Amino acid sequence: MLLDLLARVPFALPILFALQPADEGIRYFSVKDPEPDPERAFARFVLNAFFFIGVALLVTLGMGILFGSFRLWLLEKYPHNRFNGIPEDDPGKTFRLNDTGK
């Protein structure tokens, strides 16, 4: 888009060059620490591993509490539900004529 505009307007490129600030020469930039200390990098890796394990344990604990709360709610709300470990054919609630009565 800028090149199209420069091609349409005569003398736009020399005007653009004239408006540029003066070149002050070569400027050098340096990075503070180009080579990180390997011992610090290893310590940071170990600390991040422990942090990840802590977060994973907290998430697992939270999900376990939620699942256990749901199971307790299910047991209170529907005590004879088959998902609570009560068999569908409960012998205490059924009666068959061919039972021996032992």
* Residue recorded with tokens 């699942």: 67
DSSP one-letter string for 63-86: HHHHHHHHHHHHHHH-TT-GGGT-
Where are the alpha helices (H) located in the chain, listed in sequence order?
A: 2-8, 12-19, 38-77
**What is the pTM (predicted TM-score) of this model?**
0.47
Query: Of 31-35, 71-75, 79-83, 88-92, which has the strongest mean pLDDT?
Result: 71-75
Band (pLDDT 50/70/90 cuts) for residue 41 is confident
What does each C-alpha distance from 83 to 71, 73, 89 come to in angstroms?
9, 12, 13
